[in-house]
Amino acid sequence: MAEVAAGGRSRGGLVIGVRPGNTRDGASPDLDAVLVTNMGEARNAVIVWSADAVIVIGGSWGTLSELALAKRRGGVPVISLGGWTILDANGQPVAGIDVADSPEHAVELAMAGRSAGDQQ
């Protein structure tokens, strides 16, 4: 998360962190704003429902829950970068999860999917 915050800030983005605990402790100094939720991993639902696109990075269990919530929500681009590949009952990748090979590619996919969704 710290690298994402630093990258967003370096490109002039507004960087907001949604913390699972009841303090700002451990938040990246590159965040412009910190939302303290005291919700634990339930904060993942807040993140997904507030997102224009969801880029999941890596393979932790919390990341998997965000991916699942984003797919269930529908209507937002879902991109995986260096993480989970979800297979259907036939062993095929689940449709609607794009795979990126770099952070820049992930952002390109997110922006392209968001633009396509805006036109619907």
Q: What is the pLDDT of residue 58?
A: 87
Place of tokens 């880029």: 55
Distances (CA, A) of 77 to 7, 55, 73: 20, 8, 10
Q: What is the pLDDT of residue 120?
A: 42
Contacts of 88 (CB under 8 A, 6+ apart): 94
Can you tell me the distance from the alpha carbon of 9 to that of 84, in angstroms, rounded to the nearest whole number? Answer: 26
pTM above 0.75, yes or no: yes
Averaged pLDDT in 10-residue chunks for the chain of 120 residues: 86 91 93 94 92 90 92 93 90 92 92 63
CB 106 within 8 A of CB 100: yes
